[in-house]
């Protein structure tokens, strides 16, 4: 093994000083796939009880010992694992978040972002920019949500739902804690998947009844989750299409729904909610909000993901307000509910 500690030297004359930073960006795909392999092989789960050698992990994971060492060495360089010497590695705080089923886990999100559907779509990203539309259909043979709805992709669909639930945990808690539900009796979670948001809300407020509206493959999970929480008596799940109609409700929850669609389609969803809302009806939109241009902002990277894999976009507050005004709503309040996510409270106009 070649020892590089203490090696001195300088970059060749004329080398741009930014080359290292740009090189790190170019290798972003490799970093994601390192995390992907750690997640797929459950390496963080194996290390939860203490440091292990790469050979011990390989024995548990059924992987090649030398390649496993190389992977764990790379993960340690990223701060996901700690190098304990003697080919032993431990788990860092960041690595803990790649464990399965722990609070704040990013495991499912990592598996989705580096998995087949998204990875294939990213391969055509320049065409998405050139044409102004996602090329997921060209990459996968179907739009991303139609792809997940196919029975033979049920496992990927469940993983996608789990990743959204992972991302939503802190956001949902923040929104439930901040939202005033005085005078409300029924809430519809529009495109609510497994119902995490509305179920947390009706748990916190026993006077509320909740409902999820989503596609048929999603509502079964919502019913199962409500039963698991003992909330079936105050909850229902309806299979439907929010582009056609939504049930009547005092409050509509739209968490990370509008960013999946362009302005025309997002406007249809909002108008359908407005048409079904009573006088005094309200909506709560939870989304990432793009800030000032040119500043580090996770929302703009999420916007690139939407351009790559879906038909939507992230928006700034001005774009949201224009969308709301054209759909019969006005924004009354805005507040942070989780890392990078805001609640936009709407009232009917």
Active-site residues, by number, are 259
- Angstrom distances, CA of residue 151 to CA of 80, 148, 154, 155, 262: 35, 8, 5, 9, 27
Q: Residue 193: which of 247, 145, 251 has the closest Cα?
A: 145
Tell me the C-alpha distance between 274 and 324, whole Å: 10
Q: How many residues does the chain have?
A: 349
Tokens 């790379």 correspond to what residue?
74
Nearest-5° Cα angle at 88, 86 to 90? 145
Joined tokens for residue 84: 């304990």
3-state SS, 247-268, equals CCCCEEEEECCHHHCCHHHHHH
47, 90 in Cβ contact below 8 A?
A: yes
Sorted by sequence, the CB contacts under 8 Å of residue 6 that are 6+ apart come out as none
What is the distance between the alpha carbons of residues 322 and 330, in angstroms, rounded to a whole number?
9
Give the position of tokens 């300088």. Answer: 10
The answer to whether 193 touches 260, Cβ cutoff 8 Å, is no
Report the C-alpha gap between 137 and 146 in whole angstroms: 9
Phi, psi of 4 (to 5 degrees): -110, -5
CB 71 within 8 A of CB 34: yes
Distance CA 327, CA 275 (A): 9
Distance CA 23, CA 298 (A): 20
């Amino acid at each position: 093994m070649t020892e590089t500690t203490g090696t001195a030297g300088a970059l060749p004359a004329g080398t741009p000083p930014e080359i290292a930073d740009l090189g790190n960006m170019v290798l972003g795909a490799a970093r994601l796939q390192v995390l992907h392999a750690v997640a797929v092989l459950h390496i963080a789960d194996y290390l939860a009880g203490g440091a292990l050698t790469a050979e011990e992990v390989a024995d548990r994971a059924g992987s090649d010992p030398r390649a496993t060492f190389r992977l764990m060495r790379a993960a340690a360089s990223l701060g996901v694992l700690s190098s304990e010497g003697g080919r032993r590695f431990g788990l860092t705080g960041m690595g803990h978040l790649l464990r399965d089923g722990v609070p704040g886990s990013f495991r499912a999100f990592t598996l989705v972002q580096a998995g087949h559907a998204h990875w294939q779509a990213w391969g055509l990203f320049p065409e998405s920019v050139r044409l102004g539309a996602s090329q997921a259909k060209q990459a996968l043979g179907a739009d991303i949500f139609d792809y997940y709805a196919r029975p033979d992709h049920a496992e990927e669909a469940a993983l996608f739902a789990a990743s959204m639930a992972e991302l939503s945990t802190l956001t949902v808690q923040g929104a439930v804690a901040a939202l005033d539900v005085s005078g409300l009796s029924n809430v519809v979670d529009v495109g609510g998947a497994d119902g995490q948001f509305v179920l947390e809300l009706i748990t916190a407020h026993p006077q509320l009844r909740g409902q999820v509206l989503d596609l048929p493959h999603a509502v079964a999970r919502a019913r199962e989750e409500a039963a698991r929480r003992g909330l079936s008596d105050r909850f229902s799940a309806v299979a439907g299409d929010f582009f056609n109609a939504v049930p009547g409700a005092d409050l509509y929850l739209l968490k990370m729904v509008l960013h999946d669609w362009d302005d025309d389609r997002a406007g249809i969803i909002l108008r359908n909610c407005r048409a079904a809302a009573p006088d005094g009806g309200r909506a709560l939109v939870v989304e990432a909000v793009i800030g000032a241009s040119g500043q580090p902002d996770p929302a703009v990277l999420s916007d690139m993901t939407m351009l790559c894999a879906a038909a939507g976009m992230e928006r700034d507050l001005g774009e949201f307000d224009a969308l709301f005004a054209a759909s019969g709503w006005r924004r009354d309040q805005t507040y942070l509910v989780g890392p990078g996510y805001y609640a936009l409270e709407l009232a009917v106009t």
